[in-house]
Structure 1
Amino acid sequence: MAKPFEEFKLNRQILNAIADAGFTEATPIQEKAIGPVLSGQDLFGIAETGTGKTAAFVLPILMQLKYAQGNNPRALILSPTRELAMQIAEQVKLFSTYTDLRSLVIFGGLGPKTQKEQISKGIDILIATPGRFLDLYLTGDINTQSIKFLVLDEADKMMDMGFIGSIHRVLEIVPRKRQNLLFSATMGALVQKIAGDFLKNPVVIETSEQATPAANVTQTLYYVPNFKTKLNLLQHLLKDDEAFSRLIIFCKTKNVADNIFNFMQRKYGAKNVRVIHANKGQNTRINSINSFKEGNVRVLVATDVASRGIDVSDVSHVINFDVPIIIEDYVHRIGRTGRAFAKGDAITFANEAEKYYIRKIEKLIRQFIPVAEIPEGVFMEETAYEERQQIAKEVDLQKRKDDPDFQGAFHEKKNAATIEKREREKAKAKAGKEIRSFKKGKRFDKKK
């Protein structure tokens, strides 16, 4: 049975904020983490996305900071993406409503002037992306001497994005005497390395098997031959307005995201679709996410830059238009639906080259993704020459990765042709030898 928040050692201000937010019972990660964090222990939390882990570290930190004090930050929360940083900042503000604690979120993509001014007014909790934090530290705008809490959220994504060097630099400039909290959905080699450098005798908590998608998310896989047929299938599925009420479509590249966005705009109108990726300005991205959260937009098209920064409780579907190459991102993408124990659906489209990553994803999540037949009403387009070549090239690269001796489809065909030619020549030579032998035998008979 879930533990009510009233049973934790939290003050009345925080409990009132929790009640106002509509929460009464702790999720498993919250139940396991809040106690150790309140007691001052380092913690390594492994939890799937959408399980409430932000509150698992925010609530006990707020409890220990209690009230505003001094000008320098006392808690530093590092996040891999701007979107996730903003999401954490929202939770901090939500749960600190009845306290005078001051929080600020900083990230790149915006000019630093306003952020510097806000820091100079005094803050207790700083939420930041590693790059912007180090930039403002190096310009002397952030004083780290008072930091008592250091949190690394989504550590696996930080490692994927190449932040390991930045994290080590941060560890060099914060006080040694501090409490460290690290959260990750998956446990790769780099996450284990940073955990070893970062944590001191941590309490390790795991609320589910590593890289296991939420049980309340229904997964479906369609094998689709090409881009145009993927668009046709997408259009067919979206005919069900009631079921597909609010969805996120994930793509591998900015170019594909823009193409889908333009297609969706033509079909469903500009007001119903937004797109976010690294080339979009920060204000545009914030406005798009807010419109999606408020229910003004039905479809959000995104690259993986946003897969961990969208916290919307009623996303009906996630559609993986492309299969992610970083296979751990599959778990984070589909975790955008089925949040807070609600039901959700995750649908993946895979072409011939993407089957390779599907097999790896299934191995990672230790389960098979059910395959569905493409509905009869979907028109199957012929694969264009360029796309066919690209898919063949990718399949060759995958085979080379798994087998260094593999020389490619062209070489396979060439080798097969060579072998066939040699066999023909051997057969021809053998036949010639038999004919000569036969003729020689005939001559011998005549002499007799």
Structure 2
Amino acid sequence: MQAVLVELVENFEYRFPEGVEVIRLNAGLMAPMIEGKMHEGLQMPLEAKTKAKTRYLKRKKSRRQARKSAAPKQTNNAVHRHGEADEEDSDDTESEDDAPQERASNGNYSKELKETQEGGREERPKKKQKISPSHSEEGETRMSEVEGVDVATEVDSPLPPQLSLPAFPLPTLPDAPPKSILALQGLDQALVEAEVVNPSSRLPVIPKGDNDRTCLSERTRKRLIELGITELFAVQTALLPFLLGSSATRRSLYAPFDPFQDVCVSAPTGSGKTLAYVLPIVEILSTRIVTHLRALIVLPTRDLVMQVRETLEAITKGRGLKIGSATGQHSFAHEQSQLVADMSTKLSGGSSKVDILICTPGRLIDHLNGTPNFSLQHLRFLVIDEADRLLAQSFQDWLAQVLAATRPSPRSVPETTETKTLVPLCDSLAPALLHLHREVDLHTDIDEKKDTSCQKLLFSATLTSDPGKLAALGLRNPKYFVVQGQPQESEIDGIPNIIAERFTMPEALKEHMIICEAPQKPLMLFHLVHNHSVRNALVFTKSSESASRLVRLFEFFEAAISSGGNPIIVRSYSSDLPTNERRTILEKFKAQEVHLKVQRILLICSDLISRGIDISHVSHVVSYDAPVDIRKYVHRVGRTARAGRTGDAWTLVEEQEARYFKSMLRSAGHLERVQRMRISEKDTASLSSAYEISLRSLRDAYTR
């Protein structure tokens, strides 16, 4: 059955053929669809205008013309125009309501259609809307504008109100300060203005004559030449004139009214830092008459204590200075008898058998708290070697206790005659502590406030720039010396190298790295020893257990390869060994210097000797386990290429560690100096079978 959609308006009728279904719809909804259209070949006549619609359109046109003509004349009467707009809206509403009623009375609308239209008008909600400034031609929105002031009228509209908020500018962040300013925040100005020393500086030692620039006495210069030291290195040439100088005040034992400047030194490993503080101590203390503890040297390990003591004993030969050490290697009672002369009577000035004490921080605190008459009031030098490591470890808060022992106690409240305890007159009191003498009530120059005469000397290859740690030292007008590159290379991006943790390596050091898989690391080490002549080497591991395991694997490998010629001697050196055994191993390793053509020696060790140990014939350093920070790397590779000699440093890096290791070197500005060495399976083919045998032997040894 064919269906036809048609709009019935007014009295228009049309007779359709039989079989055609006519669907009657609302004229307002369907008019746009069928107006002027053809349907199935049937001509649809255009809708004829009704009288009501004609009157509505005519009034609408006249109102539009009136608005256009009246707009420029009534710009100052907004209220009047607002009223007219309301009247026009009401007229429009009435006209629009009357038009469909007339159409319904004159047309053939059904009763249901008229009820539907009437119900739609009654239920339509009235929505209020703020009129926009523009006027549409259809008259849907109207607004009056009076010299920039908008007056809104409320009309019926199905659209929601459009709210507008003021547009505020987005907040802008200030420009970040440059790196050079951020890196200097919180730092002491003395550190920023550190004196940069050229590492190639040298100063010859002249045995006789007054034209010597080292500020050393003729007796000391002769002793240096006897020991084979004919020139001073960069750190010594800068520090000796500053500490000794030409004035008599710098060489005095006490300076209560003109305190000495403290000194901080950052210099590469093997640059002669030990001799830089040993020579001034010997020069100044040689003038003493009464034995007091005047120089205290604090070191992190027992091995360094023994090494520094050997250097001091060699330089002070024939000077009469007494040297003591406290490391815990001997019993506490034995050390007390070596350090203090009288422990039975309490002496205000203390009692000491030694002029110079070399110790570890833990043992030093034991003597401060448990040894009678052990006093630091006469201290002239406080030397902290490997300062960055010692400051990073508490050791029972050793630094605060030592500094408190060197300073004079605060002036107490005057006591009455009955309660006053008299201190016997004793000329062994230091000038800064003379106010403790109260045998007389007269006020003299003894009561004047005096400062301690202790001068602090800090040394390290990786001196810290942490403001908090430096503040804990209580430095007095410090002077910084940095042996680090040329003056024009001492800064990168405006940041001094010591602050940016860019440390200088020995000039004659060659650095290499080998990236390999973890199971292949022992094979890489064997390849270096047998194919690259790595001998007289220090091999660093991450722990004592790793060192002992690698020693056993190396022994199994040497037994499996059974190569002819000179054997390779491997020894382990770690904290698990007793002190006497460690010292014996180290002495034997040093003594092999005269047998270099006969034997190849490897000392596999932990980081116990990565700092300060000076073994002159070490030509190679191998980091079997890659270091985790740049400071540890600097101290490891610094065991070779010392005092101007050449040396090679090798680092075995696992593949999963390569990215971090390179990033660490890059941040320190040192990646370009480390050359990567590639080793293929073809290079290690001759060692593979012996390596497999040694692995099986090691597995059997640990599973028994």
Name the TM-score class by shorter chain.
0.7 to 0.9
**Residue 177 of structure 1, CA deviation:** 2.5
Does structure 2 retain, via aligned residues, the 8 Å contact 1:154–1:184? yes
In the alignment, structure 2 segments of 5+ residues that lack a partner are 1-200, 207-211, 251-260, 342-352, 408-451, 485-496, 560-566, 594-599, 696-704
Q: Which structure 1 residue ranges, 4+ long, deviate > 6 Å from structure 2?
A: none
Taking the aligned partners of 1:193 and 1:132, their CA distance within structure 2 comes to 22
Kindly report which structure 2 residues correspond to 1:307-318, keeping only aligned pairs within 5 A, or say none. 307-318=610-621
Aligned residue in 1 for 2:19: none
Aligned residue in 1 for 2:591: 294
Instruction: Name the SS of the counterpart of 2:675 in structure 1.
Output: coil
Structure 1 residues 261-298: Cα deviation after superposition (integer angstroms, max 9, x where no partner): 22234445998222222222111111111111111781
Aligned residue in 1 for 2:205: 5
Between 247-256 and 11-20, the greater mean CA deviation after superposition: 11-20
**2 and 247 in structure 1: CA distance in 2 versus 1, 3 angstrom threshold:** same
Structure 1 residues 116-137: Cα deviation after superposition (integer angstroms, max 9, x where no partner): 2221361111111111111122
Kindly report which structure 2 residues correspond to 1:298-377, keeping only aligned pairs within 5 A, or say none. 298-355=601-658, 356-368=660-672, 369-375=674-680, 376-377=682-683
**Sequence identity percentage:** 30
Aligned residue in 2 for 1:232: 523
Calculate the TM-score normalised by the size of structure 2. 0.51
**Residue 145 of structure 1, CA deviation:** 2.1
Taking the aligned partners of 2:601 and 2:667, their CA distance within structure 1 comes to 33
Greater RCO between the two (CA within 8 Å, min separation 6)? Answer: 1
Taking the aligned partners of 1:70 and 1:14, their CA distance within structure 2 comes to 21
In the alignment, structure 1 segments of 5+ residues that lack a partner are 385-448
Aligned residue in 2 for 1:274: 571
Does structure 2 retain, via aligned residues, the 8 Å contact 1:289–1:310? no
Taking the aligned partners of 1:261 and 1:191, their CA distance within structure 2 comes to 42
Instruction: Name the SS of the counterpart of 1:295 in structure 2.
Output: helix
- 2:475 aligned with 1:178: no
Taking the aligned partners of 2:362 and 2:400, their CA distance within structure 1 comes to 12
Taking the aligned partners of 1:292 and 1:149, their CA distance within structure 2 comes to 33
Residue identity in the other structure for 1:168: A
Does structure 1 retain, via aligned residues, the 8 Å contact 2:381–2:454? yes
Residue identity in the other structure for 1:230: K
The answer to which structure has the higher helix fraction is 1
Instruction: Name the SS of the counterpart of 1:14 in structure 2.
Output: helix
**Residue 164 of structure 1, CA deviation:** 8.9
Instruction: Name the SS of the counterpart of 2:683 in structure 1.
Output: coil
Taking the aligned partners of 1:73 and 1:249, their CA distance within structure 2 comes to 39
Taking the aligned partners of 1:253 and 1:62, their CA distance within structure 2 comes to 38
Structure 1 residues 213-248: Cα deviation after superposition (integer angstroms, max 9, x where no partner): 21211000001211x41111111111158x423100
Does structure 1 retain, via aligned residues, the 8 Å contact 2:286–2:319? yes
Structure 1 residues 410-448: Cα deviation after superposition (integer angstroms, max 9, x where no partner): xxxxxxxxxxxxxxxxxxxxxxxxxxxxxxxxxxxxxxx
Kindly report which structure 2 residues correspond to 1:159-174, keeping only aligned pairs within 5 A, or say none. 159-163=391-395, 165-174=397-406
User: Which of 36, 39, 61 is the matching residue for 2:242?
Assistant: 36
Aligned residue in 2 for 1:66: 286
Aligned residue in 2 for 1:144: 376
Number of aligned positions between the proteins:
381
Does structure 2 retain, via aligned residues, the 8 Å contact 1:36–1:43? no
Structure 1 residues 144-170: Cα deviation after superposition (integer angstroms, max 9, x where no partner): 122111111111121344459322221
Taking the aligned partners of 1:60 and 1:98, their CA distance within structure 2 comes to 16
Instruction: Name the SS of the counterpart of 1:350 in structure 2.
Output: strand
**Residue 184 of structure 1, CA deviation:** 1.8
Kindly report which structure 2 residues correspond to 1:74-223, keeping only aligned pairs within 5 A, or say none. 74-120=294-340, 122-140=353-371, 142-163=374-395, 165-175=397-407, 176-190=452-466, 193-194=469-470, 197-208=473-484, 209-210=497-498, 211-223=503-515
Does structure 1 retain, via aligned residues, the 8 Å contact 2:336–2:371? no
User: Which of 545, 552, 555 is the matching residue for 1:262?
Assistant: 552
Does structure 2 retain, via aligned residues, the 8 Å contact 1:84–1:309? yes
Taking the aligned partners of 1:123 and 1:9, their CA distance within structure 2 comes to 26
Does structure 2 retain, via aligned residues, the 8 Å contact 1:164–1:194? no
Residue identity in the other structure for 2:241: G
**316 and 126 in structure 1: CA distance in 2 versus 1, 3 angstrom threshold:** same
**9 and 310 in structure 1: CA distance in 2 versus 1, 3 angstrom threshold:** same
Taking the aligned partners of 2:601 and 2:468, their CA distance within structure 1 comes to 39
User: Which of 515, 534, 538 is the matching residue for 1:244?
Assistant: 534
**32 and 86 in structure 1: CA distance in 2 versus 1, 3 angstrom threshold:** same
Residue identity in the other structure for 2:534: F
Does structure 1 retain, via aligned residues, the 8 Å contact 2:568–2:602? no
Taking the aligned partners of 2:218 and 2:318, their CA distance within structure 1 comes to 9
**Residue 109 of structure 1, CA deviation:** 4.7
Taking the aligned partners of 1:271 and 1:67, their CA distance within structure 2 comes to 51
**Residue 318 of structure 1, CA deviation:** 0.2
Does structure 2 retain, via aligned residues, the 8 Å contact 1:217–1:346? yes
Residue identity in the other structure for 2:579: Q
Aligned residue in 2 for 1:411: none
Calculate the TM-score normalised by the size of structure 1. 0.79
**Residue 71 of structure 1, CA deviation:** 4.3
Structure 1 residues 61-90: Cα deviation after superposition (integer angstroms, max 9, x where no partner): 110001564443110011112222222111
Between 26-35 and 93-102, the greater mean CA deviation after superposition: 93-102
Does structure 1 retain, via aligned residues, the 8 Å contact 2:513–2:651? yes
The alignment yields a C-alpha RMSD, in angstroms, of 2.6
**96 and 69 in structure 1: CA distance in 2 versus 1, 3 angstrom threshold:** same
Taking the aligned partners of 1:232 and 1:224, their CA distance within structure 2 comes to 10
Taking the aligned partners of 1:31 and 1:136, their CA distance within structure 2 comes to 35
